[in-house]
Amino acid sequence: MSLVILDLEWNTAFCKELNKYVNEIVEFGAIKLDKKLNIIETFSSLVKPTVAKSIHPHVQKLINIDFNELKKAEFTFPYVLDKFADFLGDSTLLTWSNTDLHTLIDNCQLHFMDENLPFVKSYCDLQKYCEYSLGVSSSNRMLGLSSCAQILGFVEGENQSHRALDDVKLSLKCLKALYNRRHFEEFVEECDEEFYKKLTFKNKFITNINNPKIDRQQIFFDCPECNVRCVRKSKWSKQNNSMQAYFVCPECKQSFKGRVQAKVKYEGVVISKKIINK
Ligand SMILES: [Zn+2]
For residues 245 and 135, membership in a common domain is answered with no
For residues 31 and 46, membership in a common domain is answered with yes
* DSSP symbol at 53: S
Q: What is the mean pLDDT of the chain?
A: 91
**Per-residue model confidence (pLDDT) at position 58:** 82
Look at residue 114 and tell me whether its pLDDT is greater than 80: no
Domain termination residue (choose one: 199, 232, 267): 199
C-alpha 248 – ligand 1 centre gap (Å): 8
C-alpha 208 – ligand 1 centre gap (Å): 27
**CB-based contacts of 109-118 (< 8 A; 24+ apart in sequence):** 110/15, 110/18, 110/22, 110/24, 110/51, 110/77, 111/77, 111/78, 111/81, 112/78, 115/196, 115/200, 116/191, 116/196, 117/191
For residues 183 and 128, membership in a common domain is answered with yes
C-alpha 254 – ligand 1 centre gap (Å): 6
Residues 127-154, mean pLDDT to the nearest whole number: 86
C-alpha 207 – ligand 1 centre gap (Å): 27
Bridge partners (DSSP) of residue 30 are 6, 43
- Structural domain span for residue 8: 3-199
Q: Quote the number of domains for the chain.
A: 2
pLDDT (tens digit per residue) in 173-210: 999 999 999 999 999 999 999 999 998 888 899 999 99
For residues 226 and 259, membership in a common domain is answered with yes
For residues 40 and 80, membership in a common domain is answered with yes
